[in-house]
Chains A and B, each alone.
Chain A
Amino acid sequence: MQMATSWTIDGAKDALAAKKISARELAAEFYTRINEKNSDLNAYLTLSPERARRQTDRIDALVAEGKPLPPLAGVPVAIKDVISTRGIKTTCGSKILQNYVPPYDATAVERLEAAGAVILGKTNCDEFAMGSSNENSAYGPVKNPLSPDRVPGGSSGGSAAVVAAGLAVASLGTDTGGSIRQPGSFCGIPAMMGSYGRVSRYGLIAFASSLDRIGPFATNVKDVATILQAIAGRDPHDSTSTTAPVPDYRAELGKPVKGLRLGIPKEYFGEGMDAGVRKKVEAGIEVFKKLGCQLVEIRMPHTDYAIATYYIIATAEASSNLARYDGVRYGLRVDDDSLLAMYRKTRGAGFGAEVKRRIVLGTYVLSAGYYDAYYLKGQKVRALIAQDFRDAFTKVDAILTPTSPVPPFKLGERTDDPLQMYLADIYTVTGSLAGVPGISVPCGKIDGKLPVGLQIFGPPFGETRVLQLADAFEQAGGAAV
């Protein structure tokens, strides 16, 4: 598929300020393209032209009055459908919320709009963000815009696909075990998860609260930094959002990375990695070497236990968070004369296969007699995985790994085996469990066709360094290795 006109955030803002285009015209240009392409991609679930129009009117009025423009003035963006948008249907990719209209905005959405962004619509995703291929959406899979017989990754597949296909300048996704970074990698665009606590989760419909994070997709690293800047920071509505000050994420972009120490963990380059991915990631690491970075081989000995740990903790938290869908206050209800039967039928009919599987597993690991063996054990190993990262960051400034062990796979290729699907998250879940920030940046294409992502982890609240490295890599031609 041909890549569409590539607008960037600054490009859009400059064009508006110079009156080369109005915010309304820019949004219309995107909606035209969406109408042409979305029926093939299935990346948007709901469009919000009225809300977009109110915002473009506001921005165009600022331009007309010659007032200063906010940092995201007129920038068309898309929001993953697990993030609440007041008055706009938010389904979480689930039948159980097929008519749900939130009465409030997520803080990240509110902040994007306050910064001038124009919300075009809501993007498709795996049901309740549970999946690695977007094939668990109740509304059908998203196609990879670079290779339509392949998956866009998941769970934020729609948010990745709309940016890659030129149907939004940037988007928000959510990452619990890799759900931003892996689709970013599969769709060939940069995608970032900030530190746990950096972006408010208020209004993010919960999957696993100790892991869930909201973060940006864009066509370039600088735009990723700009979006993160707009949404980061303390929010009284989320007690886990930190009071740590938000630095200027663009301040270090373009500064030399020479002399920085980058850890290459042996455990991320073992068996199970596709040979094509390995070749590209090794070439990517060479780029950093040429930039003058010092490469340090490190060990992160508990990496191999991360998937097992993740699928205990994430499913346990999910089983608890998803208890709220009971047919009483919102969403689907399947009637019955008895309240308990109504709960059971509603949940049995409303949830899809992967969600039910995780509720059963999560309830099991928390249940009497199994809590110590599974949940408590998982929390202890989580502590060891976090310690691996702390130890590593005493030796290095950042860590380089592949984002995914495999390139985008074919639609339907992995749906029959949940464990194999889970193992696709092997390089991303570690950072999720540890709470550290991570970005995936494009790192070449296998046979010029299938995108590969390079992942950069930084220490907690080390977003500035992660972005600086990702930008340096992009500027040095990393996307074409």
Chain B
Amino acid sequence: MKISREDVLRVAELAYLDLSEAELEMYRAQIDEILEYIGKLNELDTAKVEPMAQVLSDDQTADATLREDLIVPCAVAEDVLKHAPDPEPPYFRVPKVIER
């Protein structure tokens, strides 16, 4: 077994994801099977391989120079807040996070 029930619980906690009991067991079994399959990568010796951290090679990269640090107007605040779950313009309201 590659992944335990405790592993799934720990990961769900890291991802802030509520899972039901049924989901927990279902995902454990399915992810176990997927990880088993992924294990085939160990057939390859990659000790000397550089990990591919980006897709474009150096000669294809986007403009390498940094853009100028300019302030540009961005007038979307009203639109954004209009569709927020609990807006209190100009803020988003959330449950209390600091206990006195």
Contacts and interface: CB of A to CB of B under 8 A. Distances in A.
A100 B67 CA distance: 31
A338 B95 CA distance: 6
A123 B14 CA distance: 33
B11 A367 contact: yes
B51 interface: yes
A419 interface: yes
B53 A379 contact: yes
A174 interface: no
B16 A383 contact: no
What is the size category of the interface that chain A forms with chain B?
35 or more
A104 B14 CA distance: 31
A460 interface: yes
A380 B83 contact: no
Interface string B16-36: 111110010001001101110
Given A210-B55, A319-B15, A328 B94 contact: yes
B85 A357 contact: no
Contacts of B43: 305
Contact of A242 (B17, B35, B56): B56
A330 B11 contact: no
A234 interface: yes
A266 to B, nearest CB: 18
Contact of B16 (A239, A347, A435): A347
Contacts of A330: 80, 83-85
Contact of A244 (B15, B31, B60, B92): B60
B79 A311 contact: no
Contacts of B42: 377
A340 B7 CA distance: 20
B44 interface: yes
B77 to A, nearest CB: 9
30 contacts: A99-B83, A197-B55, A210-B55, A236-B67, A242-B56, A242-B60, A304-B40, A305-B40, A305-B43, A308-B41, A328-B94, A330-B85, A339-B95, A347-B15, A348-B18, A348-B20, A356-B19, A359-B15, A360-B12, A367-B11, A378-B41, A379-B53, A380-B46, A380-B49, A381-B44, A382-B52, A383-B50, A383-B52, A384-B46, A386-B52
Given A347-B18, A349-B18, A364-B11, 10 more contacts: A242-B56, A319-B15, A323-B16, A328-B94, A329-B84, A329-B85, A337-B95, A353-B23, A377-B42, A418-B30
